[in-house]
Structure 1
């Protein structure tokens, strides 16, 4: 992977993993964690699991494909990003209000952000 594209892909896979990782097989979870979170190379993972680099590559590609399929069907990441964008916009609007109104609305925004995290 090269440059900005690699970073975007890594971020995308990590976000998808946060939402759907528990739906993957244990092996898929392990390989994705090793590669995208722990920054292991294909060769390092292959050596640790005594399989070929090509097998590791295939496991990673399949796991990434499964994550994308879950997102296409469930749209949890898209929904989360939409809600966060709306809450950010609302926070900017609330900042211009009187302090007594602002406090109440900010508490509601904070509660919504907390609910998003707990899901």
Structure 2
């Protein structure tokens, strides 16, 4: 797998983790936190939990699949990305307005983007 794809996948998992972390089990949260956020190797995590590297690998894969399943059902990340894209487009129009209108509309736009 090319390095760009690995980085893209890692970034995607990080984003999904940010949205769905509370829905994961404690063990899934801890394992993904160590593996994806803290960049521990599978071997380091296995040593910490005193289990095999293969057990951690399978646990990470299941946890990742759980995140993808939540996204498929709830679509929180997709909706967030759509809001960001719309906000970017709105910002380009906003930049064309007079300074007085630009400030208040910019505040409203930020409120929409940050709404969750």
For the criterion TM > 0.5, the same-fold answer is yes
User: Which segments of 5 or more consecutive residues in structure 2 lack a partner in the other structure?
Assistant: none
Q: Name the TM-score, length of structure 1 as normaliser.
A: 0.92
State the alpha-carbon separation in 1 of the partners of residues 114 and 78 from structure 2: 18
Q: Which residue of 1 aligns with 2:98?
A: 98
Q: Which residue of 1 aligns with 2:48?
A: 48
Q: Name the TM-score, length of structure 2 as normaliser.
A: 0.95
Q: Which residue of 1 aligns with 2:59?
A: 59
- Give the CA deviation at 1:2: 5.0
Q: Structure 1 residues 98-107 or 66-75, which shifts more? A: 98-107
**Helix, strand or coil at the partner of 2:22:** helix
**Helix, strand or coil at the partner of 2:39:** coil
Structure 1 runs of 4+ aligned residues shifted over 2 Å read none
Aligned length: 116
Q: Which residue of 2 aligns with 1:14?
A: 14
Root mean square deviation of aligned Cα: 1.2
State the alpha-carbon separation in 1 of the partners of residues 96 and 43 from structure 2: 54
